[in-house]
Amino acid sequence: MTEPRIVTVTGAAGNIGYALLFRIASGAIFGPDVPVKLNLLEIPQAVKAAEGTAMELQDSAFPLLDSVEVFDDINSAFDGTNVALLVGSRPRTAGMERADLLQANAGIFGPQGKAINDHAAEDVRVLVVGNPANTNAVIAQHAAPDVPADRFTSMLRLDQNRAMAQLAEKTQAPVRDIKNVVVWGNHSADQYPDVSFATVNGVPANDLVDQAWLADYFRPTVAKRGAAIIEARGASSAASAASAAIDHMHDWVNGTPEGQFVTVGAYSDGSHYGVPEGLSFGFPCVSVDGRYKIVDGLDISAGTEAGIQFNIAALQEEYDAVKAMGFLK
């Protein structure tokens, strides 16, 4: 057995955290030969619930689970962390202005970013799941100047998975045959799901579906899938969000298959597809040698370019608002 890896999950008592933890303990991120230590971070009023989850994890007797600890102190929770899954966030409530939502989450993700900067392992990888995920990732990254910016990512993999599922259903193909779907931009209804480079069992997706279906059904369905799930089950996506987070981290650690890319909310250095520096933006990426790298040189259609520009505007607006509040240097 290799040295155990430390995984910190914030909002660990919530539904997504609950769905995540048992899969991590079973080896779903690092594989069957790498033990893990789980750090569960919660706000004080939710610690008791997290302790109940910790008991269940212990009682599951996972061979790969070396330890599970519950924290309400962020510095202790991120001590030596190799993987940080930032799930807990302030949800938007009725009557809450967007600026209030951004400010409330800056008060969560700024301190977490600083704790990661000060206490996490040198190889730390961070995935922000809590919404607004893209901008929360930017806030955390700015608070961690000693950590390479590309170690902070936001979750677009759920949107990619949703897009793959819709394309599989439409073409009557198993989802395993769907490759290279990308979702550009923001993990929100602004996103631009794109099948321009996708294949279905090796056949270009654009040869199998028409543009009217993509515009009228596919893109709106993928972008609004979260709202549809809330309407259907009375609660937000939890298991599918957890599954996507596992996919994101598994590929980051273990690499993506040859010839395939996945969607990552990645840090923009300003040199890819016209996206300004500093945004966390959904890009096609490959994972090589433990790093996500943006795939350059794709032939972008006019429709995709319009979708990218729309998302740049939305995310730049959030970035500027958070900067005006003083949370970004």
The CA distance from 154 to 9, in Å, is: 14
According to DSSP, the residues that pair with 287 across neighbouring strands are 292
Q: Mapping DSSP to helix (H, G, I), strand (E, B) and coil, where does residue 327 land?
A: coil
By CB atoms closer than 10 A (0-12, 13-18, 19+), residue 258 is exposed
* pTM summary value: 0.97
Q: What is the CATH number of domain 157-318?
A: 3.90.110.10
**What stretches of 120-174 show up as alpha helix (H) in DSSP?**
133-142, 157-171
Catalytic residue set: 187
Q: How far is CA 222 from CA 167, 205, 233, in A?
A: 10, 16, 17
* Rounded distance between C-alpha atoms, residue 329 and residue 327, angstroms: 7
Render 164-199 in DSSP notation, one character per residue.
HHHHHHHHT--GGGEE--EEEB-SSTT-EEE-TT-E
Architecture of the domain whose range is 5-154: 3-Layer(aba) Sandwich (3.40)
Q: What pLDDT shows up at residue 154? A: 98
Which residues belong to CATH 3.90.110.10 in the chain? 157-318
Q: What's residue 56's pLDDT?
A: 98
Give the angle subtended at the CA of 149 by the CAs of 148 and 151, to the nearest 5°: 75
Looking at residue 98, what is its pLDDT?
77
Distance CA 23, CA 291 (A): 22
- The rounded distance, in Å, linking the Cα atoms of 88 and 202 is 39
The set of residues, in sequence order, having a beta carbon less than 8 Å from that of 230 and lying 6+ positions away, is 236
Give me the tens of pLDDT residue by residue for the chain, a chain 329 residues long: 689 999 999 999 999 999 999 999 999 999 999 999 999 999 999 999 999 999 999 999 999 999 999 999 999 999 999 999 999 998 877 777 878 889 999 999 999 999 999 999 999 999 999 999 999 999 999 999 999 999 999 999 999 999 999 999 999 999 999 999 999 999 999 999 999 999 999 999 999 999 999 999 999 999 999 989 989 998 889 999 999 999 999 999 999 999 999 999 999 999 999 999 999 999 999 999 999 999 999 999 999 999 999 999 999 999 999 999 999 97
Gap between the Cα atoms of 167 and 173, Å rounded? 8
Residue 312: how many other CB atoms lie within 10 Å: 22
Residues of the chain with CATH 3.40.50.720: 5-154
In this structure, which long-range contacts are made by residues 93-96, counting pairs with CB atoms below 8 Å and at least 24 apart in sequence?
Answer: none
Query: What 8-state DSSP symbol labels residue 206?
Result: G
Instruction: Please state whether 221 falls in left (phi above 0), alpha (psi between -120 and 50) or beta.
Output: alpha
